[in-house]
């Protein structure tokens, strides 16, 4: 299977990863506030993604916003697992079970063309938008890019990112975060060495 790297990032891979990362990055990241707190925020996210059909804004409810946050939290947990974060024994299975339990609410249907087959949401509106997230996950998984969706391991950042390293070993969203964490690790080692030398 072809691996999605910086060189081979096909448009559909970028489209799928951008949709999922844009969604998880609505969360409270590195001290910035949650931008998915209610129906208005969810309507704004729908508008940003272009997934909002006509009349969707009026149809977005508080329950939809709660469902969006639950879905987001479960995806964050999966992406944290991709980064090797340890969140306790039950956190990841709980997130996986949640995604499995709710997936049937957002059915997908295959769209078959001469160019290929794409899973698309069977519904429109908010349910269709959530379905598009599952379709994007399926698309990335089929292209070998699923495990490349990660959350930055810098605790002051925690931004979702697409790992473009060749061997899929990236842990930080940017060189700024990796430099900061390397400096922190260096200081910690120096402190330990100084304590041992006493
Ligand atoms: Zn980062």
**Distance (Å) from CA 161 to ligand 1 centroid:** 8
pLDDT digits (tens, 9 = 90+) for 167-180: 999 999 999 999 99
Residue-level pLDDT at 92: 95
**Distance (Å) from CA 197 to ligand 1 centroid:** 34
Which residues are within 5 Å of ligand 1 (an ion), measured at CB?
152, 154, 157, 159, 173, 177
**Distance (Å) from CA 29 to ligand 1 centroid:** 9
**Distance (Å) from CA 76 to ligand 1 centroid:** 14
**Distance (Å) from CA 178 to ligand 1 centroid:** 7
Q: Which of the four pLDDT bands, split at 50, 70 and 90, describes residue 3?
A: very low
pLDDT digits (tens, 9 = 90+) for 4-25: 444 345 667 789 999 999 999 9
**Distance (Å) from CA 69 to ligand 1 centroid:** 21
**Distance (Å) from CA 180 to ligand 1 centroid:** 9
User: Averaged over 187-194, what is the pLDDT?
Assistant: 86
pLDDT digits (tens, 9 = 90+) for 122-135: 998 999 999 999 99
Question: What percentage of the chain reaches a pLDDT higher than 90?
Answer: 69
**Distance (Å) from CA 158 to ligand 1 centroid:** 6
Check whether 26 has a pLDDT greater than 90.
Answer: yes
**Residue 7 vs residue 153, higher pLDDT:** 153
**Distance (Å) from CA 61 to ligand 1 centroid:** 32
DSSP code per residue over the chain: -----STT--HHHHHHHHHHHHHHTTS--TTPPPS-SSHHHHHHHHHHHT-PPTTHHHH--HHHHHHHHHHHHHHHHHHHHHTT----TTHHHHHHHHHHHHGGGS-EEEEEETTEEEEEESS-HHHHHHHHHHHHHHHHHHTT-GGGEEE-S-TTT--EEE---TTS---SSSHHHHHHHHHHHHHHHHHHHHHHH-
């Amino acid at each position: 299977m072809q691996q999605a790297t910086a060189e081979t990032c096909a448009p559909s891979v970028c489209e799928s990863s951008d949709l999922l990362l844009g969604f998880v990055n609505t969360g409270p990241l590195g001290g910035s506030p949650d931008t998915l707190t209610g129906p208005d925020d969810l309507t704004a996210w729908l508008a940003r993604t272009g997934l909002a059909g006509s009349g969707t804004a009026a149809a977005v409810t508080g329950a939809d916003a709660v469902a969006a946050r639950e879905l987001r939290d479960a995806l964050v947990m999966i992406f944290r697992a991709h980064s090797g974060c340890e969140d306790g024994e039950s956190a990841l299975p709980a997130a996986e079970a949640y995604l499995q339990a709710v997936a049937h609410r957002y059915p997908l249907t295959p769209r078959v063309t001469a160019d290929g087959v794409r899973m698309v949401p069977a519904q429109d509106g908010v349910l269709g938008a959530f379905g598009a997230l599952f379709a994007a996950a399926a698309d990335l998984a089929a292209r070998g890019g699923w495990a490349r969706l990660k959350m930055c391991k810098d605790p002051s950042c925690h931004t979702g990112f697409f790992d473009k390293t060749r061997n899929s070993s990236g842990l930080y969203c940017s060189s700024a975060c990796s430099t900061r964490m390397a400096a922190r690790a260096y200081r910690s080692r120096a402190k330990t060495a100084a304590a041992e030398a006493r």
